[in-house]
Each structure stands twice: as C-alpha cells, then as structure tokens.
Chains A and B, each alone.
Chain A
Amino acid sequence: MTAPQKLNVVGTSVAKIDSMGMACGLEQYVADYDTTGALIGYVVPSPHAHARIKKIDATRARAIPGVHAVLTWEDVPRIVHTTAGQGFVEPSAYDSFVLDKKVRFVGDRVALVAADTREIAEEAGRALDIEWEVLEPVLDPDKAMEPGAPVIHDEPEAHMPIPVPYDAKKNMAASASMGVGDIDAVLKGSHLARKQVYSTHYAQHCPIEPHVCMGYLDPRDRLTLVSSTQVPFHARRITAQALGIPVKRVRVIKPRVGGGFGTKQEVLLEQMVGALVLATRRKVLMQFTRAEEFLSRTRHPIKVTIEGGFNKDGTITGVRMTALSNTGAYGSHGLTVMCNCGSKVLPLYRMKTVAFDATAVYTNLPVGGAYRGYGATQAAFAMESFLDEVAHEMGIDPVEMRRINHILPGEGSPVFAALGEGKPGVEQKIGSSGLAECLTQGAEAIGWHRRKEPKAPGAKKRGFGMCALMQGSSIPDIDMAAVSMKMNDDGSFNLAAGATDLGTGSDTILAQIAAEVLGIETSDIIVTSSDTDLTPFDVGAYASSTTYLSGEAARRAATTVAEQIKKVASEMLESHPAPETIELRNKAAFGPDGSSVTLGQIALRSLYESKQHQISSVESAISKKSPPPFSAHFVEVEVDTETGYVKLLKYVTMLDCGTAINPKLAEGQVEGAVVNGISFAMTEEYIFDEKGRMRNTGFADYKILSTADMPEMVTRLIPTWEETGPFGAKSVSEIGINGACPAIANAIFDAVGVRIRHAPFTPEKVLAAIQAAKQA
C-alpha cells in the first residue's frame, strides 16, 4: 500500500491493552488458572549424556503413595516426530519420541510421572529401576562427524521429512550449500582476500516464566491444553501427531505468556502433559524449574568461517561463509537456523559471487532451538567482526566500509533466491531501507569522531565499535496468518487472531491496525488470541512475522468489514452515496456531503432491522517477500587492561522497522533485544563438566543483566515505508539482539588492539587476549 496522508491510530503509542491488567496482577498465566486437584507432571531426567535403557522397571515407583502414573517408553506410542514447532511439513529432523529407550543428553527424558506433588514425583523418579548401557558421548562438535564417532541417532525411524541432506549414521543433522559464481577464482583474483573463524556459544532465552502447560479432558473427552506457547496451532498439530490422536481431539489455549524469545516455539510439554492426562484422566500441571528450563532449548553454538575478497577501494568481490552448527541431541531448527546464518547476513552486502556451506551436527549436549535472531546472531558476529578487521587493515573507516558495500533500495541479492528454509528462497528486491540514515545518526549519537582521539594514559582504555544488521519479516511463501472480525451492537468489534502475543504487544498492534482502517479507537476492538477452537489459524510468533504478516491479515479483515459497513451506510444515508465514496472516521460513516451515521446505528440496523446479517470477515495473509528491517549499532566501551573487565559506557541503536505501528512498543522490543544481546555477549555461557553436564543451571551462576548492569542506552527508530507491509510496517522484534557481539568485539579491538573471535567476552578471556598480545 502507498503511504496515506495521515494516520490516526497507527504510529501512536497507545498503552498495551493487557498491561494494566498485568500491572494489577489480574492477567492470567498458565499457573494462575484453576489448578485445584491438578496432578503435578514431572520428567525424570537422564543422568547420562548418552546411554541406552536396557531395562526399566517402574513397579517400585508406581507403588509410592501419591503417584498416579509413571510412563516409560514402553507405555507410550512410538511415533517419530520433531518438537521444533514449525509449519507442516517441518524442515527439522524427525528424531524425537515422547519417550525413547535411549537418552542423548544429560537432562533428556527418561520417564514421565504424575503425582500429587513435585516431591513425590521426584521420589518416584529415583525409585525407577533402570539398567543402563552407558555409551561414549559426543561432546565436541568438531569431532561429531569423524569416522568411528558414536552414533547418536541410531534408531531406524530418524529421518529428515523434506528432501535435504541428512545422515544420522554420521551424526549429521542437516547440511545446506549454495553458490553463485566461482568464489575460489574471485578470492584469488581479489586485491585482498582474508579468512577468519568466529564462534558463538550456548545460551538460553531465560523467559522469567519457564515453560508451563496444564492439560485436562473436557466433558466431551477432548484434550484441552492451556499452554505458555508461541505456536498454539503447531502445538495442537504436533501434540496430536506425537500421541497418535486426531487433531480435532486437541484444543490449545494460549493465555498470557511470560516471555518466550523462541524457546516456547518448541513443543516440549504439551505432548507429555497430554500423555499423562490420557493415562490418569486427571488435570495435570507441568512446569519446568529454572534448572530444567536451561536444558529445554538453547541457542545453537555455531562456528562461522568467513573468507572475503575485496577491491582496492574496499568493495566486496565475493564471500564464502562456512558454518558448523552444534544442534545438540536433537535436530530442532538445525537446518533452518544455520541457513539463516547465510540468508539473514550475506544479503546485507552487495556481492556478485557468494558461497555458503553449512552443516549441523548432533552431539550429546543440550538441544538447540529457535532463539531470537535465529542464526543471524551467530553469523552477524562473524561477518561484522570480519568487515571490521578488513576495514582496519585497509585503513578504511568501519562506517564507510558498510556504506560502500551495503544493499540499497531497488537492489536484490543472489542469496535471497538461493537460500530459503529447507528449500530455495524467494527472489526479492529491497523496497525500503533506512540503513544509510541509521549509520549517519548512529555515528553522530555515539560521537564516532572521538575514536580518533589519543587514548588516555592508565590501565583503562576506551574504544568504539559498530556494526550493521538486517533480518527479515516472516518466511516468504511459507508463513500464513489469519484474522477474523465481527461487529457488535454498539459499533465495537471482536478481533480474533491466531497470532500469539507473548508479551510483545501484538494484540495491541493488531487492534491498532484494524482501528486505523475502521476509523475508530483501539479501545473499540476486543482482541482474542489465541485459542485453536476460537481463533483462525496463524503459524504463531516466530520469524519476525507477527506485525508484518498477522498485521496484514488484520488490515485485510478490517478492510472487508469496512466494505460491508459502507454498504449498510449507503442504504442509511439519505443521499445513498456509492459505498466507495463513504469514509469511516470518528466511529461513524460519512457521505461525500458530510452527512453521517454512527457505527452503532449501522450495527443495530444490520443485526436487528433490515437485511439482517452479521458484519464479519476472516482474511488470510501470506507474503512473497520478507522485507528486512535494518539497523546500525554503536558502542563505547572501557576496557580495564589489568582485569580484562569490559565496561559498556554507551550503547546506541538505530533501527529501521518501516512504520512503527506503536513506537513505544517497538522501542521496547529493540531495547529488550539489545540488552539480551549484550548479556549474551558479556556474561552468559553454559559451563559443562567432562561428562556433558551443565554446571550452572540457575541465575546465581548464569548471569543475565539486571538494572545494575545497564549502560547508557540510546534507541531511535528511523522511519521508512515498506509498501508490502501493513501501513508501511516491517518487523522489529529479532534484529536488535544481533548487534552486541560484533559491536562490542570491535570496540574492544579499538580500545586495546586485541580481537576476540569467540564469544562471550568475559574478563578472563579479554585479559588472556591482552596478555597474549603483549607477549607476541
């Protein structure tokens, strides 16, 4: 759509519609529902990284008073599936069972228990008599595919449901490659060619509410699941699949969700709760402890190698990106996260020749999954560090390095068409980009020119770093969102969306978009999301799709309703103007002569008086494009050369998300993502022992940032207009997390001249690098 003259509701920061209820402690999360009489569900965790259950006897466990069910692999149907929570058919390996006779990481599912209390359930877990065959674990992703390595998925059922390379016998969970032009020849013929390796680490999403799901049988014997999920419709489908029951027997209700960031895309609890509900015919509540949450899903650790060629002026001749992703014990999102390393990073820069080769390997470590940024986080660290290294070597200002290479409106990239999610991508040209402005305003806000000032004497050295970023908005030609609307007696509307508000504010922005179309206030729209019985389908909250795609569905649903309203208004207005000449504003329909009827009058006529019908609509949206939001991050740090401690002084984020439907909520998305990114870059890491056990499964030892750790933050939205988006909008939620690793690493280099290519940047690591540099 082209830019309208003036927007009334879109572009304003109306309060998030559920925020007052939350602030008053009234909104309900799963555990706040009526849990009277609920049994507590519990997963008995594996103590071994890799072992076979030769024999399991639950007799003693079942005899414990207060234990209502103990399920082992012998008690549940053996149906292979993936828990990835993606659309059908999933681009993730089918390598999971509700329960299996093999365990593949410490914390893997051994058995399920339903008991009166958690304590009793744990006691039942300890009372299981298990004969283990302990197997050698694979704990090093570099060695996972070596000949003779233990095979993690040796079950015959393991397979990839889509035609992409997969070889469980070699611990290969996925591979992908693409190429345009002869990269070797181009690198060889370039003025300068360089190669570097970068790696990122395990991290967890840490929603303050861990995974939680409550299930029960309704009076018609249907399995109802109240679940803290990002994907209610996928959760319904996958639960039915895993339990071998029809989809129509499952209902998933998504209440308020206490944060997700990707981890709640994974369908982890629903099928287990379902199995226990079916076994006991009782209400079952299952919630992960924080320790269990750390072993639920994680960010795939990825080693990214970049080889790049450059002309004398700094323009890129070609790039080869190679990624080795550790997907852990199961292949959830293994293929797609690593594909996004290429598809969400390489197109940022103009290059005629490009190659991408990626492999995801199984290990006996915690499982990767969807995590905000989704591969772009890992690869942006590599690409943006690499460009910084080359810029320094060539004597080019890092900002200028981006300027001379970054993609511009009207340009495409061979990567868009070549690399999709488990299939070729979709060709697209950039419609909107505010990146040039992001670079200008970001450099100004941080005081980029100051980096040329001489360093102060003493142990503490200041430095500046920056990076440029892109993401996408929905998965083109795959994702679908639908919204339904109906008009009420007083001219208010119900809006039902399968889209999943997990704290992001999507309920609010869908209402804003519909209100804009209908000439009403957001408060005249009552939003319901999401309930698989009551709301239309939506793939859910992932792939930066909700504003762009679900928002477009809301715009279309409101537009259809508006047309119906105008028809009735035409009958009601004395001059009977043609419907298309009628304008909706101020909760009324106005004819060209200025006469009007209110929406309430229109509703009453349509419901009670004449040609009675329900003014209503259901509309769907898919996209042929995934327009990238763009961003530039700038940071000023102070590195203590005696301790290695890196203090962030100021962090600047400039971001183009097209039209910000609700600027305050959009800023909140950016600020939250940026701080999560800083936390990932600086402090968060998994510490394993030699047996593959994570040793720091709590916030005492796994440090996420608090108010006390915050630098000065500057966040600015740079408006552009994306023609394919609802009211010019693109996505905003993921991109912000990708910048901290490269921007901070680049700033550390500027401060003390050492390159940290393996995140996180802990004091120990920085200090070691400084000392190594001194000795060299």
Chain B
Amino acid sequence: MRFNAKINGLKREIECAPGATLLEVLRLMGYKSVKQGCDREGTCGACTVLLDGTPILSCITPAPRVAGREVTTVEALGDPSRPHPIQAAFVNAGAVQCGYCTPGMLLSTKALLDRNKKPTDEQIATALSGNLCRCTGYVKIVEAVRNAAAALTEEQKP
C-alpha cells in the first residue's frame, strides 16, 4: 500500500506491505538509528520514534498509521557538527556506552523536555522507563537528561 507522511521534516511517499511495521519501513528507507531489540512486542524501547512529537514504539506500530502525520528519528536532531543539546548532554555525561539504546533514549528525552522544561528525577525515570539499557545502569543517563534540561533552559534565555 501507499501513503504520504512527513519524516524528519521531509514529505515522503511510502510504499509498503500492508502488515509492515513502522520500524521495518523506516530502516528500509535508511533511517538506521531506529533499532530493534525485542521481538516486535514493544518491550525494549530501542525502536522509539516520535509521532507528532509523542514517543511511540515503531516495532508495534503498523506503518500506515503514520499516514499524513510527522515522524521524527534521531537523524533529525542534529549531527556531529551541530548536535542537539540533548545529544551533547548524553555524550558529555558519559551516558552512551554501546549506543544501541541511545537513539530511543534521546527521543524519549526530547518528548519529555518538550512538555516539561524542568523534570524531577522521578519524572525522568518514568519517562525513560520504557527504554531498556543494559550498559550504563542509568545513572549517567538520568544525569544527562538533567543536564540537557538545564542546557535547553539556558538556550531559551533571551
């Protein structure tokens, strides 16, 4: 089947099998930051993307559901020459080890900070609880989110 959607700000025409998941389609289109870590059951969070700004699990989302809507992956946040403050915060805090869960973590963080400029540690923990990480023990991830919140607040000061 065929439909239109905005991916990372670009209008794209997407063709896929009716049962295809958003994860499969995005990876086939080259958005390889979107990872698979469980068996399409929505339990690891590595495939997290934003749909109109809200984090969703692309491995359990039928691709056609995003028709006419906007999908954001980590590729859209920034690149090494101009990283997004959240990306910079994760790098500087040492919150990236194997990096496999990182794109999903970053997008869950972005969704949190877009709606809550100064989250408490508890709110951070809740917002990221669907993104499993086996490397870091989460300490530096939570620290990175705190730092990112502070950096974004600083950036928005006149």
Contacts and interface: CB of A to CB of B under 8 A. Distances in A.
A89 interface: no
A21 B99 CA distance: 9
Contact of A671 (B34, B41, B96, B137): B137
Interface in A22-45: 22-29, 31-32
B19 to A, nearest CB: 10
Interface string A249-261: 0000000111101
B98 A208 contact: yes
A25 B39 contact: no
Given A209-B37, A698-B38, A700-B41, A258 B99 contact: yes
A672 B75 contact: no
Interface stretch (B50-58, B61-69, B84-92): B84-92
Contacts of B33: 24-26
Contacts of A291: 39
A185 interface: no
Contacts of B37: 208-210, 258, 290
A23 B102 contact: yes
B153 interface: no
A707 B134 contact: no
A22 B109 CA distance: 16
Interface size class of B (residues with CB under 8 A): 35 or more
A503 B79 CA distance: 20
The residue in B38, B87, B99 that gathers the most chain A C-beta atoms within 10 A of its C-beta is B99
B136 interface: yes
Interface stretch (A11-19, A235-243, A598-606): A11-19
A704 interface: yes
B139 interface: yes
Contacts of B150: none
A675 B132 CA distance: 12
Contacts of A671: 136-140
A668 B90 contact: no
Contact of A23 (B39, B87, B136): B87
Chain B contact residues, majority secondary structure: loop
Interface string A274-292: 0000000000000001110
B99 A24 contact: no
B101 interface: yes
B27 to A, nearest CB: 8
Contact of B78 (A18, A24, A27, A289): A24
B137 A209 contact: no
B96 A16 contact: yes
Contacts of A19: 90-91, 94, 96, 99
B151 interface: no
A667 B93 CA distance: 11
Interface string B25-51: 000000111111111010110100000
Given A15-B91, A502-B98, A208 B35 contact: yes
A484 B120 CA distance: 47
Contacts of B21: none
Nearest to A256: B99
B32 A290 contact: no
Contacts of A21: 80
B136 A672 contact: yes
B133 A208 contact: yes
A743 B131 CA distance: 27
Interface residues of A, number: 57
B87 A208 contact: no
A503 B132 contact: no
Contacts of B129: 706-708
A656 to B, nearest CB: 19
A209 B35 contact: yes
Contacts of A688: none
Given A16-B96, A708-B125, A672 B130 contact: no
The residue in A25, A503, A504, A699 that gathers the most chain B C-beta atoms within 10 A of its C-beta is A25
Given A15-B92, A20-B91, A258-B98, A25 B73 contact: yes
B149 interface: no
Contacts, number: 182
A713 interface: yes
A704 B75 contact: no
Given A25-B103, A27-B99, A708 B126 contact: yes
B124 interface: yes
A770 interface: no
Chain A contact residues, majority secondary structure: loop
B32 A32 contact: yes
B125 to A, nearest CB: 4
A205 to B, nearest CB: 7
A24 B103 CA distance: 7
Contacts of B77: 24
B139 A715 contact: yes
A710 interface: yes
B157 to A, nearest CB: 24
Nearest to B77: A24
A673 B131 CA distance: 18
A20 B78 CA distance: 10
B135 A707 contact: no
A704 B80 contact: no
Nearest to B30: A32
Given A259-B134, A710-B125, A290 B98 contact: no
B97 interface: yes
B16 to A, nearest CB: 14
A706 B96 contact: no
Contacts of B103: 23, 25
Nearest to B108: A707
A708 B101 CA distance: 16
A379 interface: no
Nearest to B140: A668
Interface in A693-732: 698-700, 704-708, 710, 713, 715
A639 to B, nearest CB: 22
Interface in B101-132: 101-103, 106, 124-126, 128-132
Contacts of B71: none
A466 interface: no
A47 interface: no
B87 A707 contact: no
B94 A675 contact: no
Contact of B96 (A22, A31, A713): A22
A463 B44 CA distance: 32
A422 interface: no
Nearest to B139: A671
B5 interface: no
The residue in B43, B79, B134 that gathers the most chain A C-beta atoms within 10 A of its C-beta is B134
Contacts of B100: 29, 207-209, 258-259, 503
A664 interface: yes
A110 interface: no
Interface string A491-515: 0000000000011110000000000
Contacts of B32: 25, 28, 31-32
A77 B25 CA distance: 39
Contact of B132 (A289, A504, A706): A706
Given A31-B32, A671-B137, A698-B39, 13 more contacts: A15-B91, A20-B83, A23-B87, A23-B102, A25-B73, A25-B103, A26-B80, A208-B98, A208-B132, A671-B136, A706-B132, A707-B124, A708-B126
20 contacts: A22-B96, A23-B91, A23-B106, A24-B87, A25-B31, A28-B32, A29-B100, A206-B134, A208-B35, A258-B35, A290-B38, A503-B98, A505-B97, A668-B136, A668-B139, A671-B136, A671-B138, A671-B140, A675-B138, A704-B132
Interface of B: 31-39, 41, 43-44, 46, 73-75, 77-80, 83, 87-88, 90-94, 96-103, 106, 124-126, 128-142
- Interface pairs A-B: 8 shortest CB-CB: A25-B33, A503-B98, A22-B99, A258-B100, A671-B137, A675-B137, A699-B43, A664-B94
